[in-house]
Amino acid sequence: MWISNAFAQASTGGTDAGGLMSFLPLILMFAVLYFIMIRPQMKRQKETKAMLAALSVGDEVVTVGGIVGKVSVLKDDFVSVEIAAGTVVQMQKGAITTVLPKGTLKSA
């Protein structure tokens, strides 16, 4: 005979822990994913929301496009930013990424 016969192994008692141990790597991956990716993202969102809520007229800001200016008019969802003398741009609040410290922009 060229092919050997295959025999089934006898079942061992008490293999209930094997089922739980097979899920342990999956549980650990979700825990690592939470602490490395999800939690820091939620913290950044909370900080951004607080920054936009504290925005006031006269604050110096940087927009998503890199435009630097001073807030001149503040509405519910929109902000008017003066980027040069007499040049005002209206944009959504979400387009503001950073509030700069007072005095960062030099008046010409």
Residue 31 placed within a domain: yes
Distance in angstroms (rounded) separating the CA atoms of residues 12 and 39: 42
pLDDT score recorded for residue 71: 95
| 68 in the same domain as 91 | yes
Residues 99, 59, 92, 68: is their CA dihedral positive or negative?
negative
Note down the domain range covering 40. 18-54
| 45 in the same domain as 68 | no
Vertex 43: Cα angle to 41 and 46 (nearest 5)? 110
Residue 13 placed within a domain: no
The structural domain count of the chain equals 2
| 82 in the same domain as 66 | yes
Residue 88 placed within a domain: yes
| 66 in the same domain as 31 | no
pLDDT score recorded for residue 40: 95
Amino acid letter, residue 14: G
pLDDT tens for 12-68 read: 655 556 777 888 999 999 999 999 999 999 999 999 999 999 999 999 999 999 999
| 90 in the same domain as 70 | yes
Contact 71, 57 (CB under 8 A): yes
Output the pTM of the full model.
0.67
| 63 in the same domain as 83 | yes
96-100 sheet: strands from edge to edge: 87-92, 78-84, 68-74, 60-63, 96-100
| 22 in the same domain as 40 | yes
